[in-house]
Structure 1
Amino acid sequence: GANPEMGRQAATESREDIARLLEGADMVFVTAGMGGGTGTGAAPVIASLASEIGALTIAVVTKPFVFEGGRRMKQADRGLSELRQAVDSVITIPNERLLSVNRGVSLLDAFAEADDVLRQAIQGISDLILVPGLINLDFADVKTIMSGMGVAVMGTGVADGPERAVTAAQRAVSSPLLEDASIQGARGVIINITGGSDMSIGEVSDASQVIHKAAHEDANIIFGAVVDDSLGDRVKITVIATGFGSGREGRAGAPGHTPVDLQNYSSWYRQSHQAPASEGGPTTATPSIPVRRRSVIAVPAQARAVVGGTPAQPGDAAPTDPDDTNSFDVPAFLRRQREG
């Protein structure tokens, strides 16, 4: 029903089933069309659950066409803002960019093309991990570049001819279908170059220089190369760029996980609007997804005697400091001693 609250409630009610499906995953892709009900409301909940299990969580989402209306676009922007708080990286594909490629395409083909661009982005990342290469890239490389980085830009370029490598690199760093389609200033970059067995070291060097010049001078750049004779005379280059600094909205608390509080949204929304106004005058609450704070574990006095090496006095209370992250790390034998 184009109602994000209903999508959120549906995902919240099914969170145990979703968590079971996510259990054991090292990497989770959350894909959605933002602006409607299901994607806008449910995606942040699913992403939060994925973050809670420690999975590298990457969102690849589309934004609506302008002709779909201002309300849908506002819902998409708000949903995207909430999603960014629950994922490691997010790649955004505005459907409107399809018009810059081919305005004469049919409506049916336009939506199909939008879905295919989303598929290509996900496949491009997964191929980096799954396809073995001459210079191999793996999950650890992807995690290094994308963990807790907020906005991500991804591009793929394919070219043939005498300047095929440079042309493919230029196309990869200026994809017209991605939002913020530039890697200018990126501090984390993955480059993967794929070509036939005739691909020369000079071509690889020239293509890499194109990308190096566009990224930040101190960027962490991870390079991979794959030999695939099925490409024939073509060269394919995939680039993933992250770490654009304070100029772009990133994940709060990065690189740590900040899961979404899965309380019922409607009850929270009502409470936020019924809260008394401050002395400075009435304020209008902005509904956003609140952050769940971890509880602090109180360590009993006997345990502190073991940990600190100083005998504890009877009746001593265990001090707890909400800002002391060490209090989260209680060894198992101390927990058993406390519970027994």
Structure 2
Amino acid sequence: MNRRDFIKGFTIGSLGVLIIPEMLTNLIVRAHANPLLILDPEQENARINVVGIGAIGARIIRPLTNNQLHLHCFEVFFDPKTQIQPDLASVFEAARASDLLFLVSALDTFNSVAIKEALGTAAREAGALVVSIIHSPDGSRRQDWNCTTAYNCWLNVSDACLVDNTASIGAGAFTKGFPGEFSARHLVSAITRLTTVRGMICVDFADIKSILGADRYACLGIGVAGGANKGHFAAENALARVREQGADLLKASGFLALIEGSTLITMQDFEEASCSIHGACNDDVNIICGLIIDETLGANVRVTIIATEPVEHPM
């Protein structure tokens, strides 16, 4: 079976015909539907789903199921001990119905790669914004099958996304696991909250799509700072993490930034962070910044930056 036949088998729904039988035998699917946080009754929130694929991908997203995010979570992983027939059809139905779909994996098995691409292809053909998050412990750029057609945007996340563990301040359950796993989880949470939480400076789904929606490779940076000029230093820490991964900020096509603090945060903190971001790139770059209150941060400011660059389709 070649890759296209595999994807076709998923996307047309012939789940028991074209898929390698042993792949279904040991596959486990777990669905976690969280309550929807509809803060504005007059505004319909985007339908957001996240799928953790493979043992590591499932482990990364699991803490998200215990948080009150406007988010539905699915775990798809392999267990040689199970003989239960998985409900893959429900995962693909949710993927196609998504406005925004996150696919999280470490690409640890061939099966994980194939399922991830099949989900991405199905969702993108249905009009969803598909973000691929690849956990790459060594920080290298890894891309499954060099296939850009299945995803609008993809990122490699690793320990390099954090300055140190202080970036997890205020994250609560998100801190479980290794720093790179926290980074992947925090990325899902940050974009989801930007889209669904009414913040002091709001970002809507159209803003998210303008940065992530057109075949982009992206780098993630997370920075935290306290004390004097904390907005500036938090942003500089996040920018340093992006540069550490080899990104040329002057060639970036867009920046999506989430600036967070408790009710102690001031507009000066926001302006410092925003000015640092604007000063690191060209004048004509599309920059979207949101500001959200997170009381668990105390006197600290946390800045999350996603810098994107265009990617050419493979021949």
Same fold (TM over 0.5): yes
Q: Shorter-chain TM-score: which interval? A: 0.5 to 0.7
Report the alpha carbon displacement of residue 224 of structure 1 after superposing the two structures with TM.
1.7
Report the alpha carbon displacement of residue 197 of structure 1 after superposing the two structures with TM.
2.9
The residue aligned with 1:40 is 113
The residue aligned with 2:156 is 92
**Correspondence 1:62 to 2:135:** yes
Report the alpha carbon displacement of residue 213 of structure 1 after superposing the two structures with TM.
1.5
- Structure 1: stretches of 5+ with no match in the other structure: 67-72, 103-108, 253-287, 291-340
For the residue of structure 2 that corresponds to 1:173, the secondary structure is: helix
Partner deviation per Cα, 1:231-267 (whole Å, 9 max, x = no partner): 211111122222x35xxxx153xxxxxxxxxxxxxxx
Please say if residues 229 and 272 of structure 2, whose CA atoms lie closer than 8 Å, have aligned partners that are also in contact: no
In 2, the alpha carbon distance for the partners of 1:129 and 1:63 equals 26
Report the alpha carbon displacement of residue 40 of structure 1 after superposing the two structures with TM.
2.3
Partner deviation per Cα, 1:73-113 (whole Å, 9 max, x = no partner): 9xx8462522x232111011257x59x979xxxxxx99744
Partner residue of 2:270 out of 204, 207, 217: 204
In 2, the alpha carbon distance for the partners of 1:190 and 1:34 equals 25
1:14–1:114 distance in 2 versus 1, CA, 3 Å: same
In 1, the alpha carbon distance for the partners of 2:187 and 2:245 equals 13
Q: Counterparts in 2 of 1:1-340, with a 5 A limit? A: 12-15=8-11, 16=13, 17=89, 18-34=91-107, 36-63=109-136, 65=138, 77=142, 79=144, 81-82=146-147, 84-94=148-158, 97=160, 112-175=178-241, 179-181=245-247, 183-242=249-308, 244-245=309-310, 250=311, 252=313
> What number of residue pairs does the alignment pair up?
229
The residue aligned with 2:26 is none
In 1, the alpha carbon distance for the partners of 2:152 and 2:130 equals 5
Measured on the aligned residues, the alpha-carbon RMSD in Å equals 3.5
In 1, the alpha carbon distance for the partners of 2:253 and 2:177 equals 33
In 1, the alpha carbon distance for the partners of 2:180 and 2:220 equals 15
What TM-score, normalized to structure 1?
0.58
In 1, the alpha carbon distance for the partners of 2:188 and 2:258 equals 15
Identity %: 24
In 2, the alpha carbon distance for the partners of 1:190 and 1:175 equals 15
In 2, the alpha carbon distance for the partners of 1:59 and 1:195 equals 27
Please say if residues 155 and 172 of structure 1, whose CA atoms lie closer than 8 Å, have aligned partners that are also in contact: yes
In 1, the alpha carbon distance for the partners of 2:252 and 2:121 equals 26
* More strand per residue: 2
Please say if residues 211 and 256 of structure 2, whose CA atoms lie closer than 8 Å, have aligned partners that are also in contact: yes
Please say if residues 190 and 258 of structure 2, whose CA atoms lie closer than 8 Å, have aligned partners that are also in contact: no
In 2, the alpha carbon distance for the partners of 1:32 and 1:178 equals 22
In 2, the alpha carbon distance for the partners of 1:166 and 1:80 equals 39
Please say if residues 156 and 172 of structure 1, whose CA atoms lie closer than 8 Å, have aligned partners that are also in contact: yes
In 2, the alpha carbon distance for the partners of 1:8 and 1:111 equals 35
Please say if residues 35 and 79 of structure 1, whose CA atoms lie closer than 8 Å, have aligned partners that are also in contact: no
Please say if residues 153 and 178 of structure 1, whose CA atoms lie closer than 8 Å, have aligned partners that are also in contact: no
